[in-house]
Amino acid sequence: MQTQGNNMDPWYGLYAARTAGLSASEVRALFAVASRPEVVSLAGGMPFVSAIPKDLLTGAVERTVRERGATALQYGSGQGMPALREQILEVMALEGIHAGVDDIVVTTGSQHALELVAKLFLDPGDVVLAEGPSYVTAITVFKSFQAEVVHSAMDDQGLQPEALRETITRVRAAGKKIKFLYTIPSFHNPMGVTLPWERRMEILEIARQNDILVLEDNPYGLLYFDQAPPHAMRSIEADGVIYLGTFSKTLAPGFRVGWAVAPHAIREKLILANEAAVLSPSSFSQTVISEYLGSADWKGQIDTFRGVYRERRDAMLSALADQLPTFSWTVPTGGFYVWLRLPDHLDSKAMLPRAVKELVAYTPGTAFYADGSGRNAMRLSFCYPTPDFIREGIRRLAIVINGELALLNEFQQTGPVSTLPAESEGVLPPFAG
């Protein structure tokens, strides 16, 4: 029997309905272009792993193979290695979280934990509340389970409690079921802002009053520049918060090791879902990280990362002030990102091909909204390029924005729009600094 497909895919008619929620993110689509050496990429949130001394990792790998190879190369527990879970407790204690070793489920990166939570909770038509904007791949995951992502407004201090109350009321008045609130309270992706302690308390109280589970995603919390952010929401709420952590930003993403801390009943289901998905997270990666944590000055290495990212943050903020002085942007105190706001009549997504032509890449604001909002904003990542490349990238970006403003003035008769000092026309030569 012949399946009914389309011209491109003969199996199209057999896919599950939920695959309609799968689509390539705008971030991933940029990687092929942004990885060209002549392009200054301010797009991807890639950690600067070269800041890790090679001997720290090679030593951990060698000891793992030499002393623990028989177990490191074997299947493991669906909950993760007990030794590593003990060490994760020490990591989380830096953010005020006090839990037990049995509360932790190790996953294949925190992205995997995000998918496991979605698999456990989401039915078609359910609602996930999320900050607007929110992490692009989280939106993709929730939509892949046929959930509706409803955004709640943010400002430069993060999620607004009153806006959250209004969003909950509106969604429930429409007869929809809210399954959880997804939030990145510290050094938010993509806005870079941090939720103050008072707001964390208010949002937790709103969640309690409305019987809404909180999914707290915290990849950047230890990467502060001058002062640590407020303690994690999980530090004072054990029953209503699922906490997600990862070694991808404080060590290296290639290991693909993250974790979840969840209330008891949820934790047991997470273990079962983990086993159903991958049998067990990588024993080898877990053992290497455990060896690293047990032998290296990992807190000192995190402090090194803070210095690297602080210098790059400063380079980006200085360049923005020089090149785009009439614009506004967030000022992160940690993490990887700056959120640049454009005039309402500019479209960052439409402008991206012209930016790539000028050999600079960014992520359009639309990537971080489920409803197509965010056209007048963009995320700029300062984590990977050197300070000199960041300054050059912002210079090229200013030329693109100035050119767009000039076109709007001339051809669309939008009225006078203030322009910024622009350099000579044409494609810039590759930056060699």
Q: Which two tokens stand for residue 133?
A: 């904007």
> What integer pLDDT is reported at residue 29 of this predicted model?
59
pTM of the model: 0.89
Local confidence band at 426 (pLDDT 50, 70, 90 cut-offs): very low
Percentage of the residues of the chain whose pLDDT score is greater than 90: 78
How would you classify residue 96: left for phi > 0, otherwise alpha for psi between -120 and 50, otherwise beta?
Answer: left
Mean pLDDT is lowest, of 10-19, 129-138, 210-219, 388-397, for 10-19
User: Which has more confidence, 38 or 413?
Assistant: 38
Residue 179 has pLDDT above 80, yes or no: yes
| Cross-sheet strand order for the sheet of 363-364 | 328-329, 337-341, 377-381, 363-364
Residue 431 has pLDDT above 50, yes or no: no
What is the spatial distance between Cα 317 and Cα 404, in angstroms, rounded to a whole number? 22
User: Which has more confidence, 355 or 54?
Assistant: 355
**In the block, residue with structure tokens 């700056």:** 338
Residue 174 has pLDDT above 60, yes or no: yes
> What integer pLDDT is reported at residue 33 of this predicted model?
63
Q: Mean of the per-residue pLDDT values for the chain?
A: 90
CB contact at 8 A, 187 and 330: no
**In the block, residue with structure tokens 């005039």:** 343
Calculate mean pLDDT across residues 124-150. Answer: 97
Residue 415 has pLDDT above 60, yes or no: no
> What integer pLDDT is reported at residue 349 of this predicted model?
94
Local confidence band at 137 (pLDDT 50, 70, 90 cut-offs): very high
For the stretch 186-200, pLDDT in tens is 999 999 999 999 999
Local confidence band at 32 (pLDDT 50, 70, 90 cut-offs): low
Residue 26 has pLDDT above 80, yes or no: no
CB contact at 8 A, 109 and 243: no
* Nearest CA among 321, 361, 313, 373 for reference residue 338: 313
Local confidence band at 60 (pLDDT 50, 70, 90 cut-offs): confident
Q: Beta 178-183 vs 127-132: how paired, if at all?
A: parallel
> What integer pLDDT is reported at residue 1 of this predicted model?
42
> What integer pLDDT is reported at residue 53 of this predicted model?
85
> What is the identity of the amino acid at 380?
L
CB contact at 8 A, 207 and 215: no
User: Which has more confidence, 52 or 272?
Assistant: 272
> What integer pLDDT is reported at residue 20 of this predicted model?
74
> What integer pLDDT is reported at residue 316 of this predicted model?
98
For the stretch 338-350, pLDDT in tens is 999 999 999 999 9
Calculate mean pLDDT across residues 56-61. Answer: 85
> What is the identity of the amino acid at 125?
G
For the stretch 268-322, pLDDT in tens is 999 999 999 999 999 999 999 999 999 999 999 999 999 999 999 999 999 999 9
With vertex at residue 178, the alpha carbon angle to CA 174 and CA 184, rounded to the nearest 5 degrees, is 125
Longest dimension (CA), the chain: 72
